[in-house]
């Protein structure tokens, strides 16, 4: 399978998790939104464009702060659920790909942002398209929610790797698949290389969540790699996770999340 087809399959896989995505995925820290608004000097009523809103995890906190938001979401099911989750707020959800979407004539945005979605947009297109739809002096912002491993992290994740290796899905040692706090990849170079944006702010955030057995399985069911796993592999893995977590007194796992907020200003 070529990489482009592979990426398309991964990108489209989240449709299968539409019904559980909002509940299973973590909320982003309030401090991240505070930081974003402070750096970009946004004011209530400003127009925001979100690339890949999924079910509205990052949309709702910003809608509640009084912004007018247009979302472009690839998945029809995800877009439908986002509409339900965002009823009553000044949010317009368009079902389609960001690469193909065209804004109404003369519409320009104060901020283009993406939460755990920017990596799925065609790298040949994403910076050009964001530049085109932003007003002069507008900003681009994006971040992911990734697994990080601080000192004292729950040993469960390294222990369960034996099962991932047994089913042929183990983490590689070389690719920094075990980042510590503050070690997540910073995409400043890629932004600057576009020649369309100037990086004005990079900040790392981290937070943790406790997952009970079923909550953790649900979370895994929202990850593209697990969604597309062969059924026997997923069955074996989830069964082993249940056995191991149920054998713990607290029947839960502690997972640390990390995000790198990238903010860049449009060059004129």
pLDDT in tens, 195-220: 999 999 999 999 999 999 999 999 99
Say which residue, 24 or 138, is predicted with more confidence: 138
> d(Cα 14, Cα 116) in Å, to the nearest integer?
12
pLDDT value of position 174: 57
Q: Lowest-pLDDT range, 63-72, 100-109, 210-219? A: 100-109
Position 224 confidence tier, pLDDT thresholds 50, 70, 90: confident
Structure confidence at residue 6 (pLDDT): 67
Q: Domain 3-149+179-209+257-266 belongs to what topology?
A: Rossmann fold (3.40.50)
pTM exceeds 0.75:
yes
d(CA 119, CA 148): 18
Cβ contact 250:215 at 8 Å: no
Q: Is the pLDDT of residue 191 over 70?
A: yes
Q: How far apart are CA 107 and CA 58, in angstroms?
A: 22
Predicted confidence at residue 97, as pLDDT, reads 95
pLDDT at position 3, please?
Answer: 43
Quickly state the pLDDT bin for 52 (edges 50, 70, 90). very high
- Opening angle at CA 66, ends 93 and 96, nearest 5: 15
CA distance 28 to 144: 9
Q: What is the pLDDT of residue 15?
A: 72
Give the per-residue pLDDT at 104.
86
């Amino acid at each position: 399978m070529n990489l482009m087809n592979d990426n398309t399959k991964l990108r489209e896989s989240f449709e299968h998790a539409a019904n559980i995505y909002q509940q299973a995925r973590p909320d982003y820290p309030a401090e991240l939104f505070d930081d974003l608004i402070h750096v970009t000097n946004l004011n209530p009523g400003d127009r925001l464009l979100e690339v890949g809103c999924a079910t509205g995890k990052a949309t709702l906190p910003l809608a509640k702060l009084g912004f007018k938001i247009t979302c472009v979401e690839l998945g029809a099911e995800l877009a439908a659920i986002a509409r339900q989750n965002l009823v009553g707020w000044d949010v317009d959800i368009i079902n389609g790909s960001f690469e193909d979407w065209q804004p109404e004539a003369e519409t320009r945005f104060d901020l283009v942002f993406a939460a755990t979605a920017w990596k799925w947009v065609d790298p040949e297109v994403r910076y050009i398209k964001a530049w085109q739809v932003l007003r002069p002096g507008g900003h681009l912002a994006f971040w992911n929610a990734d697994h990080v491993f601080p000192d004292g992290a729950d040993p469960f994740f390294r222990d369960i790797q034996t099962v991932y290796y047994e089913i042929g899905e183990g983490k590689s040692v070389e690719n920094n698949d075990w980042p510590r706090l503050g070690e997540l990849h910073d995409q400043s170079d890629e932004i600057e290389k576009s020649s369309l944006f100037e990086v004005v702010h990079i900040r790392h955030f981290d937070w943790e969540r406790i997952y009970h057995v079923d909550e953790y399985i649900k979370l895994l069911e929202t990850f593209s790699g697990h969604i597309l796993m062969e059924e026997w592999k997923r069955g074996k893995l989830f069964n082993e996770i249940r056995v191991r977590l149920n054998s713990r007194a607290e029947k839960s796992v502690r997972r640390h999340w990390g995000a790198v907020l990238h903010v860049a200003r449009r060059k004129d």
